[in-house]
């Protein structure tokens, strides 16, 4: 009965990783086969035909390297996908730089694979002039880059819709200052009996009360509502226009920025440790130093969170204050 109540997303989640990996393998394999078939037919009409093994090597090496670069495409899309108002120049420039870098790696990988196959066949692969040849390859790689990045974005957008983004249902209430205490009765003599005294200088206004922070959040996900205690949040991760709350092995995506959401949490407990990560200090199990001043945080839930050198001092200060 319990399994029948699971929605489509919950049934898909256990096999999601296998489906995603299998999809790219099958897609690249099919594209490689079709491209090879077209190239073989085209080679027969040329004045100097090429051997079939050469054509297979050319097309196969290209799609093999692209398949190996899929994790890079995913990372680029996740890093550059949110197009914020007023930041379109940075958005476009980022993708242009990324496309150039991907194309360079793609061409270098193709050259390495083809050179190896040609050597095994007792021949030598001649790539031609690198400058002119790479320019030609880059024009093709740009189209591939755009199609793959757009496909990854569309898939991620669909998964968010299928999952149903979580959202805070009870916004934190504004802090209410305590009423001022009544002044104690004065024991000074009556005005007509008291000697005249100069009026005291006006004291500075009291500081504004600290904003109230919610102790728990009621979030909605997959058409269900969950009550999450703020102290149960293990760590947080910025994901484009969302912030992911990692709570006891479960993930909740909220439409908010990491910076804005941290203002709702206790700064003595939650510390930013990376440009896109923040942690609950009480959930850190071990701090593993890395080369260059960075660190890796091992959490009690078994996950690891990166800590950049820029935030190491804040982590030390926060850990010291809770010790």
Query: Which pLDDT tens digit goes with each residue over 249-268?
Result: 788 888 888 888 899 899 98
Helices 130-163 and 88-120 cross at an angle (nearest 10°) of: 120
For the stretch 14-67, pLDDT in tens is 898 999 999 999 999 999 999 999 888 887 777 667 788 999 999 999 999 999
Q: What is the pLDDT of residues 209-220, one digit of tens each?
A: 555 677 888 777
Phi/psi-derived region of residue 297, left when phi > 0, alpha when psi is between -120 and 50, beta in every other case: beta
Q: Name the DSSP letter for residue 270.
A: E
| Assigned token pair, 217 | 């959040």
Please state whether the predicted TM-score (pTM) of the whole model is above 0.85.
Answer: no
The strands making up 242-247's β-sheet, listed across from edge to edge, are 250-254, 242-247, 233-239, 277-280, 270-274
Which domains, and CATH codes, for the chain?
Answer: 3-163 (no CATH), 216-322 (2.40.50.1020)
Is the pLDDT score of 173 beyond 50? no
Percentage of the chain lying above the pLDDT 90 cut? 33
Quickly state the pLDDT bin for 244 (edges 50, 70, 90): confident
DSSP three-state, residue 213: coil
Q: What is the DSSP letter of 166?
A: B
Q: Which two tokens stand for residue 161?
A: 């819709």
Mean pLDDT of 260-281: 91
Confidence at 290, pLDDT banded by 50, 70, 90: confident
Higher pLDDT, 242 or 21: 21
User: Which comes out higher in pLDDT, residue 21 or 317?
Assistant: 21
Q: How many CB atoms lie within 10 A of CB 134?
A: 20
Ranked by mean pLDDT, the top range of 3-7, 53-57, 168-172, 288-292 is 53-57
CB burial of residue 67 (10 Å; 0-12, 13-18, 19+): middle
Can you point out the beta strands (E) in 168-241? 216-221, 224-229, 233-239
The span from the CA of 62 to the CA of 180, in Å, is: 74
Strand partners, 244: 237, 253
pLDDT score of 177 more than 50: no
């Amino acid at each position: 009965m319990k399994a029948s109540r699971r929605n489509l997303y919950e049934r898909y989640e256990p096999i999601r990783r296998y489906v995603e990996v299998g999809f790219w393998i099958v897609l690249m394999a099919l594209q490689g086969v079709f491209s090879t078939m077209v190239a073989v037919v085209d080679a027969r009409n040329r004045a100097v035909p090429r051997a079939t093994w050469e054509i297979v090597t050319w097309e196969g090496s290209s799609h093999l390297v692209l398949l190996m670069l899929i994790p890079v495409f995913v990372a680029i899309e996740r890093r550059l996908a949110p197009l914020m108002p007023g930041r379109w120049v940075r958005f476009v420039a980022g993708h242009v730089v990324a496309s150039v870098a991907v194309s360079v790696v793609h061409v270098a990988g193709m050259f390495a694979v083809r050179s190896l196959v040609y050597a095994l066949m007792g021949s030598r692969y001649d790539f031609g002039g690198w400058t002119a040849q790479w320019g030609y390859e880059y024009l093709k790689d740009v189209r591939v880059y755009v199609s793959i990045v757009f496909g990854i974005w569309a898939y991620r957008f669909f998964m968010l819709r299928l999952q149903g983004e979580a959202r805070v249902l009870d916004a934190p209430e504004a802090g209410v200052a305590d009423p001022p205490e009544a002044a104690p009765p004065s024991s000074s003599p009556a005005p007509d009996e008291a000697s005249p005294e100069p009026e005291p200088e006006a004291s500075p206004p009291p500081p504004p009360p600290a904003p109230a922070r919610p102790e728990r959040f009621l979030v909605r996900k997959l058409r269900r509502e969950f009550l999450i205690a703020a102290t149960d949040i293990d760590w947080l991760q910025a994901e484009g226009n969302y912030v992911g709350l990692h709570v006891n092995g479960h993930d909740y995506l909220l439409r908010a920025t990491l910076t804005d959401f941290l203002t709702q949490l206790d700064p003595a407990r939650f510390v930013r440790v990376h440009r896109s990560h923040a942690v609950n200090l009480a959930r850190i199990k071990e701090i593993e130093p890395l080369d260059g001043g960075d660190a890796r945080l091992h959490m009690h839930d078994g996950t690891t969170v990166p800590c950049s050198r820029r935030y190491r001092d804040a982590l030390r200060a926060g850990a010291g204050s809770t010790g």
